[in-house]
Structure 1
Amino acid sequence: MNSDGDDRLGAANGSTVGGLASGGVRVDAVNVAGLCGQALQARLGEIARAESGLAAMKADTLGEIARRNGDGAATHAATDAMAISGRKARSEVRDAVRLGELDATRQGLCAGSVPVGHAQLIARAAGDAPIDEEYLAGRAQHEGYDEFRRTIARHVADVNADDGASVLERQRKARSATIWTRSSDGMTVLNVCVDPVTGARLGAVIAAAERRLFRNEDTAERRTPAQRMADAVTQLICDPDAKRPAGASLIVVADYDMVNHQLTNGRLADGTSIPIGEIARVAVDAEVLPAIFEAATGDLRMGRSRRTATDLQRAALALRDKGCVGCGIAPGRCQHHHIDHWQHGGPTGYQNLVTVCADCHNDKIHQQGFTAQWDTANSHYRLQPPHGPADQTTNSTTTQTGPRPPPT
């Protein structure tokens, strides 16, 4: 293998059997230390496509065992052969059986065009409601995981005559929480699984608690984002009488049908669909911030009067960006980056702020020199790598030029 990244990785050539190449999936060994940044990126993409092919093979095998001997036998085989937990094995078998009935998804998985995680989302959605599988398999080839998760949620809500209420009810009944001690290091692990609306409320409160901790930290001894989240959750549970953190409002959005005079298309700030009737129920229990951003509702242009985004700005940015513009993670888990840097005179205004997670903010923007660029055609921001080799780094003095979003 030479250092220009011309490796051979993926399905070997050969006739196809049931959508899989008869030669299987081949991954050539390569000295990655000799690859340039662009070649490393390309290799990751090839590995991901090979993983999709392997996942299709595994699903075919588990599905065949289940067909012959039942789901229990397939679960036992998976637990034994792959050394995974019983819970994981049951999930693998369930997805495998569903994939056997989803031709477009399975073909995309075999070809490497549908990522493994996307295929799992489609399989699980198929268990919740009737779906247009070909439509979802097509979208899966072009959308990131978080964006596609929202696409799935909107689609399931659209195909349900009850505006997604039955899906939400099933999700609520499936809620669970576990707490255990990890044998490897003695750490206690808390795992909570809740429906999207409850998750959004939890996320908003936890994110607000994290911001409060960040403001009170010693700048010389910053916590890591993971440590800060752990401390925020611990504080909220162990000190429930503490004052509610500022900025913990739940943002819900709906369109108004002028013809029928009713609200439609209810959704959370990240685009996750929720039943319209849920908005009224949420309003009883939580502070709901209306998604109306005009001059009369508040100032979205703070200028140099403060560095951090206001609650109103965070709400407006959540609706505009729908999460991190680099990786798509939910807005409640994000920070806000000054496109024209604060230390160089950039204002704290709606048009100069962009939503990014901690990793994209620190690593991509401030370490690698990515810049925020407004995509006029699609009306959203995206992170643009610096000019030159992909592994080139730069300092954090770069500012963005080009078009900005229209004023709110």
Structure 2
Amino acid sequence: MASGSESAFGSAQATNTAPADGATGVFASGGVRVDATDVSMLCGAGLRARLGEIARAESRLAAMKADTLGEIARRSGDGAAAHAATNEMSVSGRKARSDVRDAVRLGGLGATRDGLAAGSVPVGHAQIIARAAGDAPVDERYLVQRAAHEGFDEFRRTVARHVADVSEDDGVSVLERQRQARSGTIATRGSDGMTVLHLEVDPVTGARLGSAVAAAERRLFSDENPDARRTPPQRAADAICQLILAPDAKRSAGTSLIVIADYDLVNHQLTNGRLADGTPIPIDEIAGVAVDAEVLPAVFEAATGNLRMGRSRRTATDLQRLALALRDKGCVGCGIGPERCQHHHIDHWQHGGTTDYENLLTVCHNCHNDKIHQQGFIAQWHPGKPTNPDQAANPGHYELQPPDTATTATNTHSDSRIGPRAPPH
């Protein structure tokens, strides 16, 4: 199974010539250039600033690429534009067709194209806007404004929620279009003979698949020799193969698909249906999911203290796992879905940390092991901000920050490196 993470528009090339107008990366003529530099001489902040400079240049190049492909498509058709991209840019036919589709969509999205050209809208964000515009009559300027300030995963959820909000049928038509657009391929890669599976499905089906694969991965992990463990990618591959090749094998209990909805006390109905990662789904889908999935109603009440286990157990309870899925919406380091994650004690268990909701963090295996335990990344809480003057503030979110960039805070916890904590509820 694979997902398309490659940029749909383009990337920057470095040169040794300074910008003509003196502004980093932009010429008076409208061209784009990034100065070559010896990155080994840059400090940590300088390296991060360098990446930001390159990202803005990539956005400007993306606008140029989209303009060019769009003009070829206007003159000679989408097929001719894809053929030109394949030949002149040495990309696959699949990538070329995707680029042309996005370029044609971007041609009707002036604010998004201008944001790309200015370097304020990241390439991946522009791609999300372009594809969302094909699903619903989106408020493009609102999305462009959010794109300039939100990370990729947060913005993806923002756009999904916006598309559901502006759809007159609670997103039913959007979900149906996604289901119609499903595709799957299995092919042998010529370079090394490996077989590659590529699968694109709607979010609800994807969440159910993700839950099944995650359960199979946990089962494999528990059966492994601790001294000879698979890598996470190997375990995921084996889990998928097992589910396909041995569909009748006994499955372990406890595989839950988390579907969330709010209850309107005035109208006595469910509203705002969504998956655990925040992806909106039509309320009617909940009934379909409930046919063969466990429904877990939950009311979180701070006064009960039932989300605080202290030192009585090391692993999170089912209720804590559900509450953490609602709060973190997946790995706080990379955004992978909560069903594929584990839980980290912010104040480490071996240093006296407790298994309490406010001391737990949702992280995937890679971020848990590599970022937190090996590289010393620090969990930091970012309070929410109003999305516009008429809306209440978002509750906020955790992020993992490198130790040289995280803001320290004075608090009552034994580890002085820990950043500001989230409110418990």
* TM-score, normalising length: structure 1: 0.88
Q: 1:92 aligns with which of 99, 104, 110?
A: 99
Shift in CA distance, 235/401, structure 1 to aligned 2, threshold 3 Å: same
**Cα distance in 1, alignment partners of residues 313 and 246 from structure 2:** 30
| Aligned: 1:286 with 2:293 | yes
Tell me, yes or no, if the aligned pair for 2:33 and 2:57 is still in contact at 8 Å.
yes
Q: Is 2:64 the counterpart of 1:47?
A: no
Is 1:271–2:278 an aligned residue pair? yes
Cα gap change, 1:131 to 1:376, in 2 (>3 Å): closer
Residue number in structure 1 paired with 2:403:
386
Aligned-CA RMSD value: 2.8
Find the aligned partners of 1:24 and 1:124 in 2 and give their Cα distance: 27
- How much has 1:305 moved relative to structure 2? 4.2
Gaps of 5+ in 1: 1-6, 391-396
Q: String of CA shifts for 1:63-84, please: whole Å, max 9, x gaps.
A: 1111122222111111111112
The answer to whether 1:13 aligns with 2:30 is: no
Alignment deviations for residues 275-333 of structure 1 (CA, whole Å, 9 cap, x no partner): 01111111012223334345999953344444333333221111011122233332223
1:207-232: CA deviation from partner (whole Å, max 9, x where unpaired): 12222222332222222211111111
- Residue in 2 aligned with 1:160? 167
Deviation at 1:10, TM superposition (A): 9.4
Decide whether aligned partners of structure 1 residues 164 and 332 sit closer, same or farther in structure 2, where only a CA change above 3 A counts: same
3-state DSSP of counterpart to 1:285: coil
The residue number in structure 2 matching 1:35 is 42
Tell me, yes or no, if the aligned pair for 2:259 and 2:286 is still in contact at 8 Å: yes
Residue 190 of structure 1 aligns to a residue in which SS?
strand
Q: Which runs of 5+ in 2 are unaligned?
A: 1-14, 385-394, 408-413
Aligned AA (1:13): D
Return the alpha-carbon distance in structure 2 between the equivalents of residues 245 and 62 of structure 1: 50
For the 8 Å contact 1:12–1:26, the answer to whether it is kept is no
Structure 1 equivalent of residue 226 of structure 2: 219
Query: Is 2:339 the partner of 1:335?
Result: no
Kindly report which structure 2 residues correspond to 1:96-245, keeping only aligned pairs within 5 A, or say none. 96-245=103-252
Kindly indicate whether the alpha-carbon contact (under 8 Å) linking 2:333 and 2:400 is maintained by their aligned counterparts in 1.
Answer: yes
SS of the residue 2:291 aligns to:
helix
Q: For residue 171 of structure 1, what is the amino acid of its counterpart?
A: Q
Q: CA deviation at 1:361?
A: 1.9
Is residue 2:255 matched to residue 1:248? Answer: yes
Partner Cα distance (1:244, 1:207) in 2:
12
Q: What do the CA deviations read for 1:385-407 (whole angstroms, capped 9, x no partner)?
A: 324799xxxxxx95764654444
Q: CA deviation at 1:202?
A: 0.8
C-alpha deviation, 1:43, in angstroms: 0.9
1:394 matched to which residue of 2? none
- Percent identity, aligned pairs only, is 75
Structure 1 runs (4+) greater than 6 angstroms displaced: 7-11, 295-298
CA distance in 2, matches of 1:254, 1:266: 4
CA distance in 2, matches of 1:388, 1:261: 47
Q: Does the 8 A contact of 2:341 with 2:363 survive in 1?
A: yes
What displacement does 1:246 show?
3.9
